[in-house]
């Protein structure tokens, strides 16, 4: 009997929908969606699997039984942070530094706030700490920044701290972060052994800063340990519960967890904190996969889902990691792809400010429940999706491919009552105002992201994905001056597609100081040590040395600077000639970023951090080029409908409606038009045109 075809499954749990992509060994791809279930995220995952199995044409149990790789990105960690539903945490640190997390840094007061919030100076306050001051205990010890022991660890202090936190404060988790443990973790390792004595059954969840990050910076590293403990029990419960359901449902192979670093890893190897930004990271992986195929070096990735709008950049073929990601206003030290998010999704709420009479959009979202008014699920707040429906962009009878009927009548009434009448506008003008404002917010975010890298927006192409992305892409691209927008058949589930395509990745980032020209052997020894440690972990995951690729990056700066520039290093080991070339590469990049003459070679140059990504390659979607001898545009026409265009006409215009599934390679469409996919709608305004390429991607540009 012939072996049955195996599948790779990628799942992304978003704020509104849970997306799933199933990929066959032959490269065939199926997509499905289900509503996210915040009360129990695993239920939404199982619902999405049921829908996916129907699309493939088999039962859910058979789908899971034939799944070789199940890769999952989720918002469980993010959701626990946003709702402050983590566990009670205690914190052990170096005596004298108990106030570090509350003092923060000078910029901590505004970290993570929007520019609009920052302008209201009298309203700005520090975030509520994850650990109250009374649950922070200092212990006597000191290691200096070179890793030398100055004061031995006082074991009595440690045992008393553990006793007090567990017995008196009744904490469920404990975080440990000592002052210079990044340089020498010996004292934290000693506390780990004492913790095993005091808590042999591991009833308490433990996190150690040195195990999570080997980067200097006591404030961000302390946050890293605290946040990991705060989220740990919640994330562990969810993943164990999901794995149990998947096993009962027929899954035989490992559950792989999507990480914010752009890769997956076995559940046991992933810290709870690594789950943060795993959804947006999936979109970046999918973008990198497609960019390589289409030979795009510079890409703006835009993911507009139901709750948020996420922006990332691929420059010269690489994505960047954020130096100190800010998560819910806390700086942490984790390898997370540099993706910035704002509250600008389909479910983002619009309102009229009662004090100023201004129309405001975001950042709050109606979420999956109750959702926009037009969902008819009890939602009473006008959202971006309601505006898109009123403008005529979305067909109320074809939402989610016809699975969900939208109530245009309820959306019109709510828009009239809550937005149009207070602003003395017609309903469609109010909806157009919401559309324009959310587009402007998105274009502002993109412009800020691009300009600070030393590039201009017009040097990029835009990849538009997420369920709402293709509806708004032309709007924000026009404001930026970007000429080409790419929309894919998998755009509505692009993060899940990225999860399905994700490699197994383990990342190590560590602080160092190598003043150039440094001795190559010293740096090479450090690289060998890092790579040897990761090889050992990945060997346990079934990878042999020949199956691993190592990507190396150095953060470099002029001496006495605090911020650096990260450069990809294409050599596996350094020589004196390569170190000289490295200096030239840094100075060239520095001037690209900050202007000719901005560098100062006389200050000296140093390597301040090393990052190594170990990549275990797995099967990828094989997108096949298709060629069509004749245009099928006429056959793809479904109907015509009136759409209200705010720019430039500010009136209703008749637009052709096309069925994407009937368009072949080579098809050409001029705006105004709408192209409908099962889970999204692509708006083609006047003065825009769309071409379908050989991979059946929609390429939209100004005609």
**Annotated domain spans of the chain:** 85-228, 348-437, 505-616, 634-702
pLDDT at position 408: 95
DSSP string across 283-342: HHHHHHHHHHHHT-SSEEEEEE-SS-EEEEEEETTEE-B-SS-EETTEE-----B-EEEE
In this prediction, residue 653 has a pLDDT band, given cuts at 50, 70 and 90, of very high
pLDDT at position 90: 97
Give the residues across from 173 on adjacent strands.
Answer: 89, 205
β-bridge pairing 698-702 and 688-692: antiparallel
Residue 36 DSSP SS3 = coil
Distance CA 12, CA 495 (A): 6
Compute CA distances 178 → 521, 562, 609, whole Å.
30, 22, 20
Query: Do 492 and 676 meet the contact criterion of CB atoms below 8 Å apart?
Result: no
Containing 53, the helix (H) or strand (E) segment is helix 41-56
Distance of CA 639 to the CA centre of its chain: 37
* Residue 130, pLDDT above cutoff 50: yes
* Residue 629, pLDDT above cutoff 60: no
Distance CA 206, CA 226 (A): 10
List, for residues 374-430, the tens digit of each pLDDT value. Answer: 999 898 999 999 999 999 999 999 888 888 899 999 999 999 999 999 999 999 999
Mean predicted lDDT score pLDDT of the chain: 90
* Residue 2, pLDDT above cutoff 50: no
Query: Do 227 and 336 meet the contact criterion of CB atoms below 8 Å apart?
Result: no
* Residue 523, pLDDT above cutoff 80: yes
Q: Work out the end-to-end distance of the chain between its first and last CA atoms, rounded to an integer number of angstroms.
A: 55
In this prediction, residue 3 has a pLDDT band, given cuts at 50, 70 and 90, of low
**Model's pTM, two decimal places?**
0.86
List, for residues 554-566, the tens digit of each pLDDT value. Answer: 999 999 998 899 9
In this prediction, residue 631 has a pLDDT band, given cuts at 50, 70 and 90, of low
Q: What is the DSSP letter of 109?
A: G
List, for residues 75-86, the tens digit of each pLDDT value. Answer: 888 878 877 889
């Amino acid at each position: 009997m012939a072996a049955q075809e195996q599948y790779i499954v990628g799942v992304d749990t978003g704020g509104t929908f849970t997306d799933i992509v199933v990929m066959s060994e032959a490269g065939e791809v199926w997509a499905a969606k289900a509503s996210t279930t915040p009360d129990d995220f695993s239920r939404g995952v199982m619902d999405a699997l049921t829908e996916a199995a129907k699309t493939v044409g088999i039962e859910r149990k058979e789908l899971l039984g034939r799944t070789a790789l199940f890769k999952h990105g989720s918002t469980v960690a993010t959701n626990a942070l946003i709702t402050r539903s983590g566990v009670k945490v205690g914190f052990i640190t170096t005596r004298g530094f108990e106030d570090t997390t509350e003092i923060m840094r000078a910029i901590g007061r505004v970290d993570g706030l929007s520019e609009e919030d920052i302008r209201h100076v009298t309203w700005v306050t520090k975030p509520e700490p994850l650990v109250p001051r009374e649950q922070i205990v200092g212990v006597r010890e000191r290691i200096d920044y070179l890793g030398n022991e100055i004061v031995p660890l006082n074991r009595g202090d440690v045992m008393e701290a553990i006793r007090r936190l567990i017995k008196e404060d009744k904490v469920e988790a404990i975080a440990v972060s000592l002052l210079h443990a990044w340089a020498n973790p010996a004292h934290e390792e000693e506390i780990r052994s004492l913790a095993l004595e005091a808590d042999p059954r591991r009833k308490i969840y433990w996190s150690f800063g040195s195990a999570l990050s080997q980067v200097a910076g006591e404030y961000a590293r302390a946050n890293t340990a605290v946040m990991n403990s705060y989220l740990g029990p919640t994330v562990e419960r969810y993943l164990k519960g999901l794995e149990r359901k998947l096993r009962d449902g027929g899954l035989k192979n490992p559950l792989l967890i999507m990480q914010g670093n752009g890769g997956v890893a076995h559940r046991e190897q992933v810290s709870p904190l690594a789950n943060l930004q795993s959804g947006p990271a999936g979109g970046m992986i999918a973008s990198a996969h497609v960019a390589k195929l289409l030979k795009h070096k510079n890409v703006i990735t835009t993911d507009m889902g139901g709750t948020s709008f996420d922006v990332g950049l691929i420059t010269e073929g690489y994505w960047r990691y954020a130096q100190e990601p800010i998560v819910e206003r806390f700086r942490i030290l984790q390898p997370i792809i540099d993706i910035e998010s704002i509250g600008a999704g389909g479910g983002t709420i619009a309102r009229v400010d009662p004090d100023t009479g201004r129309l405001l959009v975001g950042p709050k979202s109606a979420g999956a429940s109750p959702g926009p008014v037009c969902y008819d699920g009890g939602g009473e707040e006008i959202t971006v999706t309601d505006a898109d429906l009123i403008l005529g962009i979305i067909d109320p009878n074809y939402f989610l491919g016809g699975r969900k009927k939208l109530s245009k009548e309820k959306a019109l009434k709510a828009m009239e009552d809550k937005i149009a009448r207070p602003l003395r506008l017609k309903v469609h003008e109010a909806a157009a105002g919401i559309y324009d404002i959310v587009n402007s917010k998105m274009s502002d975010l993109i412009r800020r992201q691009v300009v600070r890298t030393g590039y201009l927006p017009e040097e990029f192409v835009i990849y538009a994905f997420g369920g709402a992305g293709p509806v708004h892409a032309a709007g924000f691209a026009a404001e930026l001056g970007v000429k080409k927008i790419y929309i894919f058949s998998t755009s509505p589930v692009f993060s899940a597609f990225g999860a399905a395509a994700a490699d197994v990745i383990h990342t190590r980032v560590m602080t160092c100081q190598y003043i150039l020209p440094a001795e190559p052997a010293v740096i090479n020894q450090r690289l060998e040590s890092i790579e040897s440690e990761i090889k050992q972990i990945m060997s346990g995951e079934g990878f042999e040395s020949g199956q691993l690729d190592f990507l190396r990056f150095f953060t470099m700066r002029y001496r006495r600077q605090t911020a650096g520039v990260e450069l990809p290093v294409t050599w596996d080991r350094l020589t004196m000639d390569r170190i000289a070339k490295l200096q030239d590469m840094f100075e060239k990049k520095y001037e690209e970023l900050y202007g000719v003459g901005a560098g100062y070679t006389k200050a000296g140059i140093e390597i301040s951090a090393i990052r190594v990504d170990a990549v275990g390659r797995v099967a990828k979607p094989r997108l096949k080029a298709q060629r069509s001898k004749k245009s099928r545009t006429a056959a793809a026409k479904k109907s015509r409908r009136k759409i209200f265009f705010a720019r430039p006409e500010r009136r209703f215009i008749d637009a052709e409606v096309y069925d994407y599934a009937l368009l072949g390679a080579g098809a050409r469409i001029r705006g105004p038009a709408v192209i409908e996919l099962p889970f999204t709608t692509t708006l083609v305004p006047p003065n825009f045109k769309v071409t379908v390429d050989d991979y059946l991607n929609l390429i939209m540009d100004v005609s």
